[in-house]
Chain A
Amino acid sequence: MAVADASIGGDRSRLRVNPYFVLVAPLLVLLLFLYVWPMAQVFWISISDPEFGLQNYEKLISNRGILKMLHTTFEVCAITTALAMFFGYIVAYAMVHVSDRHRTWMLLFILVPFWVSVLARAFSWLMLLHDNGMVNDLLRAWGITDEPVQLVRNQLGVYIGMVHYMIPYAILPLYAGMRAIDPRCIAAARGLGAGPFEAFWRVFLPLSLPGLIGAGVLVFILTLGFFVTPAILGGGKTIMVAEYISVQILQTIRWGIGSMLAVTLLFIVLALLAVMSRAVDLRSMFGAK
């Protein structure tokens, strides 16, 4: 877009303020007041409550409970991201190759659940999958199992709920990336004697890699903030960083620790975005180009 292009443009545009900047300025001021200022306050609490210093940050290495919780968070997020990317890639790949009519239907089936509230989805999974839910009833009726299979209120339930939630976030950027791959490359590979799998493995997959990395980082960042899904589907035993922060803010009133974790989370996300920016063009990733 004009604004983005101009701001990274040649020397001439650096010399004077781009007139389009005026259009963006009110938003920047608004963000400064509503976002940067409160974030600064959160940061301040993290180094001043209960007393000034870095003792809250020291807990990141010394407090067993916090370490365990962070470990759980990263483990759950990494596995969720891997699964969501795997399934998302398959669907996106199919979407690129089916007819327009099928693609419309596929998009519909991806977007409709995407728009359903996270709470409604978590409770739906619970109703389907609990010990006497529909799935377990069917398994027993068909004689596949005698005892109920525990599908929710444990770690498995957390993965089911989170992967299901994240798949559309994986599909959409992957699909956009794959659309940009010139199908003639694959045709050329086939023409030069590559089998279908080799053409995919040596041509299509490498070409889709930037999209894969970009979507992966995006999905991972979003999973870091999960709260409701693990709380409902995890049977109370999967406590991730977002819920832990909420406990420290609302229940135990340890605002110093809560805001320290919030700040830490923010820096992790920024670091991930920095990594991502090396692999993909962030502006095209977020639709600014």
Chain B
Amino acid sequence: MNPHKMFLEDCAQIAAEKFNKGRIDRRQFVKACAAIGMIPALKAGKAYAATPAQLVHANWGGDGAVCTGDIYGGAFQSETGVPVTVDGSGPFEGTIKQMVETNSTIWDCCDSDIFTGLRLGRANLLEPIDYSIVNRDAILAPFTYDYVVLGYWYSYALTYDTTKVDGVPTWADFFDVEKIPGKRTMWKWMNGAPEAALLADGVPMDEIYPLDMDRALEKILSIEDHVIYWGSGAESQTMFLDEEVVMGNIWQTRATVIERDTGGRVTWSWDQAIAYPAGWVIPGGNPAGADYANRWIATMQDPALQIAVMDCYGQGPSNPAATDMMTPEQRRLHPAAPENYEVQLIADSEYWAANYDDILNEFLDNISA
């Protein structure tokens, strides 16, 4: 195809999209098509006009970008004919806010923690979820929200090197450097760390939230010199592979990979791991239109696809139907399999939605030198 024709088609497509979203009326659309000689686009009529050229999903990159694009994206394209592009540059809350507020949204759907979705939704930065398209029954109760769909689970799990630690350690052991010497690692961006500190201090699971931050920070700073912080999942993995740390409070998705790569030298425990519900949001004014974004989310709710994505990079399926379709080995790795779910602390998304910014700042102020 020659570049000029491509450009004209692109113009037609933009006009079609505008028409589709109601920004221009039918007469203007016809005029626009005629002006650039794109009669075929007009003839194709509404079917052409309604179909976006692509759907852009934003997540945190790495394997997550590849797996999402190949598995969910492949399925969506065969269903709707719309190809999916995955942008792995990271859907930070600030980036979404900036895009939506300046009317320059380039993402149709973003990975998001539930608590981030609640924050963004309350700031009017998201499209509401259309539950006539998205399946409510595929969402574990009570995790149904107006602006964010529960899509997957991940946990901050106590991961340990079996050659340096006897038996299965607890959070109390994690904070006891006399009993088990060696370095530990926690997430630099705070989540999971205060919860683990309070659990180590003997606070019962159902009394963790609201967090007693003074107590948590005191516990964390008590082993200050023995802690190095990981900033990215890959970094936590390297720390275990290079034997820099004996224990870590890391994502179970990474723990699974490390266990495989070390032939079981490093493993993790579900007991008192901190499970965070996460999922998908649609940023306001998304280019492909809310309809297609909701259809995309509905595709990603498919239990078989969710299991395939879990095999690909560890995300725990959100659809309860997925658990019954799993092999015992898959169930062992799945944060929301009932036997794993019930021994974990479930993060309180409402609490985090209200307090995330204050607590993150307080945490960073204290851990930094």
CB of B365 within 8 A of CB of A238, answer no
CB of B242 within 8 A of CB of A132, answer yes
How long is the Cα–Cα vector from A275 to B59 in the complex, in angstroms? Answer: 45
A 60-104 contacts with B by CB, 8 A: 64-65, 68-69, 72
Chain A count of residues within 8 A CB distance of the other chain: 28
Chain B count of residues within 8 A CB distance of the other chain: 26
CB of A251 within 8 A of CB of B228, answer no
**Chain B hits for A255, CB < 8 A:** 94
> Given the known A-B contacts A65-B361, A72-B368, are A253 and B94 also in contact in the complex, defined by CB atoms under 8 Å?
yes
CB of B362 within 8 A of CB of A65, answer yes
**Chain A hits for B223, CB < 8 A:** none
How long is the Cα–Cα vector from A68 to B244 in the complex, in angstroms? Answer: 28
**Chain B hits for A132, CB < 8 A:** 242-244
Is A252 an interface residue when CB atoms closer than 8 A count as contact?
yes
**Chain A hits for B188, CB < 8 A:** 236
CB of B364 within 8 A of CB of A239, answer yes
Is B47 an interface residue when CB atoms closer than 8 A count as contact?
no
How long is the Cα–Cα vector from A68 to B92 in the complex, in angstroms? Answer: 26
Chain A 222-236 near chain B by CB (<8 Å), digits 1 or 0: 000000000110111
By beta carbon, the residue of chain B nearest A126 is B238
Q: Which of B183, B229, B360, B367 contacts A252 (CB 8 A)?
A: B360
By beta carbon, the residue of chain A nearest B116 is A251
Is B341 an interface residue when CB atoms closer than 8 A count as contact?
no
CB of B244 within 8 A of CB of A249, answer no
How long is the Cα–Cα vector from A256 to B361 in the complex, in angstroms? Answer: 14
CB of B228 within 8 A of CB of A252, answer no
CB of A237 within 8 A of CB of B242, answer no
> Given the known A-B contacts A64-B365, A252-B360, are A235 and B228 also in contact in the complex, defined by CB atoms under 8 Å?
yes
Q: Which of B93, B231, B362, B365 contacts A69 (CB 8 A)?
A: B365
**Chain A hits for B119, CB < 8 A:** 253
**Chain B hits for A234, CB < 8 A:** 369
Is B72 an interface residue when CB atoms closer than 8 A count as contact?
no
**What is the minimal beta-carbon distance from A223 to any residue of chain B, in angstroms?**
16
> Given the known A-B contacts A132-B244, A237-B229, A250-B93, are A69 and B360 also in contact in the complex, defined by CB atoms under 8 Å?
no
How long is the Cα–Cα vector from A252 to B352 in the complex, in angstroms? Answer: 12
Is A247 an interface residue when CB atoms closer than 8 A count as contact?
yes
By beta carbon, the residue of chain B nearest A237 is B369
CB of A231 within 8 A of CB of B231, answer yes
> Given the known A-B contacts A65-B361, A130-B244, A131-B243, are A251 and B368 also in contact in the complex, defined by CB atoms under 8 Å?
no
CB of A251 within 8 A of CB of B242, answer no
> Given the known A-B contacts A153-B228, A251-B189, A254-B357, are A68 and B97 also in contact in the complex, defined by CB atoms under 8 Å?
no
**Chain B hits for A133, CB < 8 A:** 242
**What is the minimal beta-carbon distance from B223 to any residue of chain A, in angstroms?**
13
**Chain A hits for B97, CB < 8 A:** 253
Can you report 11 A-B residue pairs in the complex whose CB atoms are below 8 A from each other?
A130-B244, A131-B242, A235-B228, A235-B229, A236-B229, A236-B367, A237-B368, A239-B368, A247-B361, A247-B364, A251-B92
Binding site for B on A (CB under 8 A): 64-65, 68-69, 72, 130-133, 153, 155, 231-232, 234-239, 244, 247, 249-255
Complex A-B, nearest 3 residue pairs according to Cβ-Cβ distance, in ascending order: A236-B229, A65-B365, A252-B357
